[in-house]
Amino acid sequence: MDSDIKDKLLFPRKDASVFMGREDIKAADEYCKAYISFLNTAKTEREAVSAAVALAEKEGFIPWKKGMKIKSGDKVYFSRRGKAVVFCTIGKKSFASGLSIVASHIDSPRLDLKMQPLYEDSGMAFFDTHYYGNVKPYQWTGIPLALHGFIVREDGRELAIQIGEKPDDPRFFIADLLPHLAEEQMKKPVKDAVPAENLDVLAGLNAAPGESGTGAVKLNILRLLYEKYGITEKDLVSAELSVVPAFSASELGLDRSMVGAYGQDDKVCAYPGLTAFLSVKEPEYAACLVLADKEETGSLGISGMQSAFFPNFINELAEAAGESANAREVFSNSFCVSADVNASWYPLYKEAFDKYGDAKLNHGVILFRYWGQRGKENTNDADAQTVAALIKILDEADILWQTGEGGKVDAGSSGTLSRFFTSLDVPSIDLGVPLLSMHSPFEGAAKADIYMAHRAFTAFFKRN
């Protein structure tokens, strides 16, 4: 067959190392250096909001206040309790023409401290935890951990805390049973081997000065917290304290082709979304970047995508645009790319993956229309027009892209933010980065795919 016809008929998978030129590969490498430093400053959603706002303010973004007027080129943002944030650059077209939205989430699986977390057993003080998001408990034992959080003291003062990140900081850990005594444990199914109630963090061993007996070690931990932060056991009730891996993000592989880090789901899409958004200064359609919280637990809560904070904000912008636009009209004219990760094919677990349909590392961004078990349950299943419109944008910008199925049919399930935008009548489709070891304390992604995500979102914000 004529090779021209063959090229036309087939849609083969392309490898980034073939598709990308030397310059592009170098650019991806440079790009990921900044991504790695972003990851190291943004392990929790609050830290990600602070880091994103700091970068945006440097570009002239200001906090939105109700009553402000807006015009083309204006740059505003709205932070919901410091846990979710929406940035908007007003476009050249009327606000009623709709928005270009890129939405990702900035919360990641972790272990949260319970409301009354401190207890003592056998002369050891522990922080009692309740896991956040879908984790495999056994992965959290025997690794260095850090404590990140946000506290509102009884006197009203707000404090951000971080213990375990500086080189001379103490780390924390969750002990596992030694293999010598684990004969019974090793017979259990993996999901039962480490019960979630055993994911308690060892906080210390020393008794408070002049104290002895039961409770003296717990008291000492409270004394140390009081001396450093002025907080009491009661302040822990309202505090958001999370245990996250203490690892730093780094390059992976002898060829440095990947990035390894905690929390790449979904900062591996949030960061490219942010850099793309900030690079498009004068968009045709108003550009909107959503960094949402609570995706890992169902997008509920005040800072989750099921809260009304996003439509409320857009409604205020529509009013401020001074046209007869209302949020409903703005939404139905908009286009949303839900930027989330998807599973990457891995040859050592072939049994879980779809050999022909799953995405591969180093093969570009993944376009996916649906996810879900039991017949695409709870999924967006993007319509043909939306999918075709995105493909056109990607192809015109020479983006390396692939499709992904998220594993074999009914092998498991997940979800993205896409469905919450379609609930607002915004056409929406998922586009993201393939990830290895998703939801583990250390996830891997390919630099080429991360850079392609930046380029793809940039092309999307530039649509006309």
Contacting residues toward Zn ion, per CB under 5 A: 265
- Smallest separation (angstroms) from Zn ion to the CB of 415: 9
Cis peptide before 265 (omega within 30 of 0): no
Judged by beta carbon, residue 164 or residue 432, the one nearer Zn ion is 432
Pick 265 or 293: Cβ nearer Zn ion: 265
Contact present, 102 and 289 (Cβ < 8 Å): yes
Which is nearer to Zn ion, 196 or 216 (by Cβ)?
196
Using a 10 angstrom Cβ sphere, with 0-12 exposed, 13-18 middle and 19 or more buried, the burial of residue 114 is middle
Q: Please, what is the minimum distance in Å from the beta carbon of residue 296 to Zn ion?
A: 5
**Backbone dihedral angles phi then psi of residue 307, each to the nearest 5 degrees:** -75, 160
Q: Do 69 and 55 contact (CB within 8 A), yes or no?
A: no
Q: Give the shortest CB-265-to-Zn ion separation in angstroms.
A: 4
* DSSP-assigned states of every residue in 145-213: EEEEEEEE-TTS-EEEEEES-STTS--B------GGG-TTGGGS-HHHHS-GGG-PEEEE-PPPTT--S
* Shorter beta-carbon distance to Zn ion: residue 265 or 430: 265
Least Å distance between CB 436 and Zn ion? 13
In the complex with Zn ion, the residue whose CB is nearer, 203 or 365, is 365
Residue with Cβ nearer Zn ion (265 or 405): 265
Q: Please tell me the distance from the alpha carbon of residue 173 to that of residue 140, in angstroms, as a whole number.
A: 8
- Residue 19 or 247: the one with the smaller Cβ distance to Zn ion is 247
Helix or strand holding residue 118 (H, E): strand 110-121
The type of residue at 423 is: S
d(CA 404, CA 432): 10
Report in angstroms the alpha-carbon separations of 157 from 138, 150, 151: 37, 11, 8
Strand locations in 253-412 (E): 258-261, 286-292, 335-338, 342-343, 365-368, 401-403
Spatial contact of 219 and 193, defined as CB atoms under 8 Å apart? no
Output the DSSP codes for 419-450: HHHHTTT--EEEEE-EEBSTTSSSEEEEHHHH
CA distance 401 to 405: 14
Of all residues in this chain, which one has the CB nearest to Zn ion in the complex? 265
Looking at beta carbons only, is 265 or 449 nearer to Zn ion? 265
Please identify, using beta-carbon distances, which residue of 98 and 260 lies nearer to Zn ion: 260
CB 14 → Zn ion: shortest distance, Å?
Answer: 27
Q: What span, in angstroms and rounded, lies between the C-alpha atoms of 153 and 406? A: 43
Q: Which two tokens stand for residue 316?
A: 């205020």
Nearer to Zn ion among residue 117 and residue 372 (C-beta): 372
CB of 316 to Zn ion, least distance (A): 30
CA atoms within 13 A on the CB side of 273: 34
| Least spacing, CB of residue 435 vs Zn ion, in Å | 9
Work out how close the CB of 107 gets to Zn ion at its nearest, in angstroms, rounded to a whole number.
9
Contacts of 131 (CB under 8 A, 6+ apart): 109, 110, 111, 112, 137, 140, 196, 199
Q: How far is the CB of 434 from Zn ion (least distance, A)?
A: 13
As measured in angstroms, the least distance from the Cβ of 439 to Zn ion is: 6
Residue 441 Cβ vs Zn ion, minimum distance, rounded to whole Å: 13
Q: Which is nearer to Zn ion, 47 or 265 (CB)?
A: 265
- Which residues lie across from 121 on neighbouring strands? 124
